[in-house]
Structure 1
Amino acid sequence: MIEELAEPVWRARAAAHRSRMERWTLPHRERSRLREAHPVHDFLFTYYSLRPAQLEQWQPGPGVRLLGDAGEFPERLGYRPDGDGIVLDPALLPERVRRTAGFVHGLVASTAARPARYGCFGLHEWAMVYRTDRPRHDAVPLRLGSTGTDAVVESMQVTCTHHDAFRFFTAAARPLNALQPAREDQAELEQPGCLHATMDLYKWAYKLLPATPAELLGGCFALASEVRELDMRASPYDLAAHGYDPVRIETPAGRADYARAQQAFAERAAPLRTRLLALCAALSEPAAVPSCAPARTA
């Protein structure tokens, strides 16, 4: 079933999406202009590669007919006239989008089906600076110093399940992890309690552009931003100068706080995973073209 949007409606949605994303894109552009680094938020634009202008751009996704003057959309890949409007036709998208949709569907579905684990306590960030004199954020001091940081890693079990976090572990930290996550077993190891698996929903959403509904993309990005803040607050870095209080995972109270926040993020990520899976299905089987348009309040 096709959802029809009158021009005032979809233009209002486009303006609302842009305004929502400018909360992050405008400060990022200003920092870039001033050549100022931010140890928390730069990650959202450097590790994740979508440009700010692309993040701000609105698109309806499949299953939506835009009415009125939508002349700018046929210039984008996948759009075609349809009756008195235009639609995104998955059959017109590059083959890479369909292949990516198949991969993302498999990974996200297997992650969603696995029980969440809440016992890692963010030690991946500590393992990235374990026994090294070259921490990733060398302009930010370590809260407990090098010796204290190493002692925390050695006092707890490291149980990272995420390959793209594990690959940044120092050589000394890698043998301490209970698992050795590799790219080829990503779908067998990722689980919904992992902060990085939650943040990566944003990556999988933008990998499916131009087919991803902007509200889904924006929802994944907004959640990734909050998760990133927890990720760094629980890290060994002292971020007080940037306005962040630490989550002291070296203490029982801090670990309990981390696990509660981790569980809350996993619960908030679940509906985004469901919507992402629906999008992947729409792109993998374009003849069906089910509506995966998000609710108005994404």
Structure 2
Amino acid sequence: MTTLLTRPEWHPLQEQHEARADALTAGHRERRATHTKHAVEDFLYDYYSTRPAVLRRWHPGVGSRLDRSEQHENWRWYSKAQDGSVGFDADQFMRDRGDSVRFIHRLLTSISERPVFTGCFGLHEWAMVYRQGEHRHPLPLRLGQDGTDAVVERHQIRCTHFDAFRFFTPEAVGLNKLQPTRDTQVDLDQPGCLHASMDSHKWATKLGPAVPGDLSLDCFELARDIRMLDMQASPYDLTSYGEPAVKIETPEGKAEYARRQREFAERSQALRARLIAVTAVLTGAEVLS
């Protein structure tokens, strides 16, 4: 079923989206103008290759068409119907990106069906600096190198996410209970994983104009919020940013991390369900009730 939005209906939605996107990316755009780095927030733009201009583009999403939109008519994966309306061309998108869409559908569906695991305590970030003289971020280690290494050695590491595991130092790889690979991602990713939840932004971006604008920004905002916890619970000292540490080496820190992890898992599962609904339409799959 296709919904036709008149210009008085869709144009305010576009304006609201652009204003929200501008607010979400304001800090990054200001820093970019002055060539200033931010160890926490730059991750969303560097690792995910996020472009503020692309995030700012409003899409009605699959199943909606727009009356009188010359702008959208000129965008990739849009087509104009005989009645003059413009909408997302799902058939062309699937011809171009079908393999990616099917993978995303399979991965997100698998994640959504698994229970939330909250026993990792963000130790993936610690394993990325274990016994390492040089670190990814120009921030001091809160406990120093020896203290950081000691935390890693006192805990069992159980990272399920390949894109975190691949950044472990060589000395830390063998300490992980699991040995995730790209081929086992669908089998291992789970909804409690911060990075799997942040990846909702990645998948929304890859699905492009099939994703409604509000869902795209919801995924980006979730990734932004999760990234802060990811770094607060890391071995890095965020004092220069005015952010308190979540001291996962203590019982209190572990409890706080697990609590916030569960909250993020709940948010991510809701967004994941909406993304699955998009991929289900594209693939013709049945949405799980």
Same fold (TM over 0.5): yes
**1:77/1:92 contact within 8 Å kept:** no
Per-residue deviation, 1:85: 2.1
User: How big is each residue's C-alpha offset from its partner over 1:218-252, in whole Å with a ceiling of 9 and x where there is no partner?
Assistant: 11000000000000000001101112111000000
Q: Name the stretch that deviates more: 212-221 or 222-231.
A: 212-221
Matched length: 286
RMSD: 1.6
Long gaps (5+) in structure 1: 291-298
Aligned AA (1:58): W
**2:158/2:178 contact within 8 Å kept:** yes
Question: In the alignment, which residue of structure 2 is the partner of 1:133?
Answer: 133
Question: SS at 1:4's partner residue?
Answer: strand
Aligned AA (1:204): W
Per-residue deviation, 1:49: 1.1
Question: In the alignment, which residue of structure 2 is the partner of 1:295?
Answer: none
Is 1:29 equivalent to 2:40 in the alignment?
A: no
Question: SS at 1:87's partner residue?
Answer: strand
Is 1:159 equivalent to 2:174 in the alignment?
A: no
Is 1:262 equivalent to 2:249 in the alignment?
A: no
**1:202/1:221 contact within 8 Å kept:** yes
Question: In the alignment, which residue of structure 1 is the partner of 2:229?
Answer: 230
Question: In the alignment, which residue of structure 2 is the partner of 1:293?
Answer: none
Q: Percent identity?
A: 49
**1:61/1:213 contact within 8 Å kept:** yes
**1:77/1:93 contact within 8 Å kept:** no
Q: Name the stretch that deviates more: 145-154 or 276-285.
A: 276-285
Per-residue deviation, 1:100: 1.1
CA distance in 1, matches of 2:174, 2:16: 47
Question: In the alignment, which residue of structure 1 is the partner of 2:209?
Answer: 210
CA distance in 2, matches of 1:221, 1:267: 16
**1:118/1:263 contact within 8 Å kept:** yes
Per-residue deviation, 1:267: 0.5
User: How big is each residue's C-alpha offset from its partner over 1:26-80, in whole Å with a ceiling of 9 and x where there is no partner?
Assistant: 221221121111010000000001311001110111111212x201111112222
User: How big is each residue's C-alpha offset from its partner over 1:67-118, in whole Å with a ceiling of 9 and x where there is no partner?
Assistant: 2x20111111222223352221201226232221100000010111111100
CA distance in 1, matches of 2:95, 2:162: 26
CA distance in 2, matches of 1:212, 1:79: 13
Long gaps (5+) in structure 2: none
Aligned AA (2:17): H
Runs of 4+ in 1 over 6 A off after TM superposition: none
Is 1:147 equivalent to 2:146 in the alignment?
A: yes
Per-residue deviation, 1:9: 2.3
Question: In the alignment, which residue of structure 2 is the partner of 1:219?
Answer: 218
**1:101/1:281 contact within 8 Å kept:** no
Aligned AA (2:44): L
Question: In the alignment, which residue of structure 2 is the partner of 1:16?
Answer: 16
Structure-1-length-normalised TM-score: 0.92
